[in-house]
Amino acid sequence: MSPSSPNIIPPDAPLPRCQRHRTTVAGWRCERCNETLCPDCVVGRRAQTVELVACERCGDVAQTLLTSRSRVSVAQRLKGAWRYVFTPSGSQVIVAVSVFLAALRWLVELAISFSALIPLTIYGGVFWGTFFTLARDSARGETALRSPDYRDYFHDAVLPGLRGVVTFAVVWMPAFLYVTVVRPLLQEGRSALGAWIRGLDTPGLLTVDPVLIGLLLLGVLWLPAALLITAARQPLLTLFDVPGTLRIVRRLGRDYTLVAGTLVGLGVLHLMTHGVALLLRMLDLFVISRVLAEAVTLVIPFTAAHVVGLLLYTRGDALGYGLEQDYLTPVLGDAQPSRMAPPLRDAGPIPFTGAAARAIETGSSNDDTLEALAAAVNARDVPLAMSLYATVRQQPRLRVPPEHHLFVGQAAAVEGNFPLAVAALESAADTAPDEPTAPRALVLLARVLGERMHDAPRAEEVYRYVLHRYPDTAAARFASERVSPTSD
């Protein structure tokens, strides 16, 4: 659906009203009479595995009205962000990660010399792996927490750990280089700090070196952008693109300022939680003290991950994160038609046009029809291929290659013929379940269901089937990022 489509309501435009019930917000537009309709003015109808919404008056298909996620501002979404970790799933993840990190910290304390690097590296990988997993889940609109399963330790822990370390190193590198290279008087700075702490008559830190203070403030302002870039899986070299980062900040505007201020506040709270964790460790109840100390220090970072994810969820298109249509949401959310009509016949007629109609009129043989379809697919002639495919669908005995089903399914999705797209993609997977085309077709099917037809439950069923049936494929990795966490 094009961004200029009349079915897409700009975020700054008023929501359309039902043309029959003027006080009610509309959620659909009829393709024939062009009326905007509320749930009482549309009828739900099922044809095969496809659920349609029809105009109650003329019976034609009614398309869902969409609007940008940014209609609900980042500020509104942040109001409930503090509840994120204080949920059943949040408690489970914090306890599980805390136990693991407490064991790793204990191993670091027991290790001798460089052998401590091994558990320390695993510690950082687990922390950052969980942080970026939560940020990306929040960027998809998930409200429940889940930790990485670490089936692929390199991708689930090692890479996130490296990205987290690089992110922080880049942000604080200017201040570090200034202190260690540009300003050779590091020892004097330490003496000034010590004197200030003892209350001697020396200038405070703000007047000791305003350049250093300025660089530290720059790091504070830069950090949210760096976390956004890393969570969005942008190349690490993007972190060094200062003009590009400034463009992102400018595009996000007040939302970036709000999130940056929120993260600064969370950073202050995080320092306070480390004081609480120190007191807990001083109790020396061994396992209990260690686990509680880790849990206390995880609350704020996990909340920060959610905050970063909320900004990505609402304004991620400013970073090029995902597709434009990913940021469209139904005007009425999950609202459904008030009434359901009896299901249509499973084999409802499909109008034949062009070459398909001529094939029927001339009585072409089955082989000729299949050859014509293959030629249309090879020539990338979308209208001819879709017409011939409609003819073939009425002849179940014909065996259409899975790649032809896949081509028609893709073409139908682009053309907006979602019922045909669903039927073709299902056939592509069913006719050759062990071919490479099957998982690709199923992922496309799930995207059509979820992103185009806004049937999230069915889309998630298809994604979960891909994870179960094709676990070691690129399709499964794509699906794993789009299914909601389970209670397993």
DSSP string, 346-406: TT------HHHHHHHHHT--HHHHHHHHHHHHHTT-HHHHHHHHHHHHT-TTS---HHHHH
- List, for residues 454-481, the tens digit of each pLDDT value: 777 788 888 888 888 887 787 887 887 7
Q: What pairing do the DSSP bridges indicate for beta strands 50-55 and 339-340?
A: unpaired
Q: Is the dihedral of CA 252, 254, 256, 257 positive or negative?
A: positive
pLDDT interval class at 319 (50, 70, 90): confident
pLDDT interval class at 255 (50, 70, 90): very high
* 371 has pLDDT over 50: yes
- Contact 425/446 with Cβ under 8 angstroms? no
3-state DSSP assignment of residue 25: strand
What burial letters (b/e) apply to 404-428, b meaning 16+ CB within 10 Å? bbbbbbbbbbeeebbbbbbbbbbbb
Q: How far apart are CA 372 and CA 389, in angstroms?
A: 10
Q: Which one of 198-212, 253-267, 394-408, 466-480 scores highest in mean pLDDT?
A: 253-267
pLDDT of residue 247: 87
- List, for residues 407-446, the tens digit of each pLDDT value: 888 888 877 788 888 888 888 888 888 888 888 889 888 8
* 6 has pLDDT over 50: yes
pLDDT interval class at 212 (50, 70, 90): confident
Residue 483 has what DSSP assignment? S
- Contact 438/426 with Cβ under 8 angstroms? no
pLDDT of residue 367: 63
Residue 34 has what DSSP assignment? -
Q: How far apart are CA 127 and CA 97, in angstroms?
A: 8
Q: Is the dihedral of CA 43, 45, 50, 55 positive or negative?
A: negative
Distances (CA, A) of 167 to 89, 117, 149, 244: 28, 20, 23, 15
For tokens 């434009």, the residue is 324
Q: Considering only 25-34, 113-122, 183-192, 422-431, which range has the smallest mean pLDDT? A: 183-192
Q: In what order do the strands lie in the sheet with 339-340?
A: 50-55, 42-47, 339-340
For the segment 137-164, the average pLDDT, to the nearest whole number, is: 80
**Could you name the CATH architecture of 354-480?**
Alpha Horseshoe (1.25)
User: Residues for the chain: how many in total?
Assistant: 488
Domain boundaries, the chain: 8-65+331-340, 74-323, 354-480
* 2 has pLDDT over 90: no
pLDDT interval class at 269 (50, 70, 90): very high
3-state DSSP assignment of residue 216: helix
Tokens of 258: 């709000």
Strands (E), 170-234: none
pLDDT of residue 143: 85
* 283 has pLDDT over 80: yes
Higher pLDDT, 286 or 67: 67
Q: Considering only 40-54, 271-285, 300-314, which range has the smallest mean pLDDT? A: 40-54
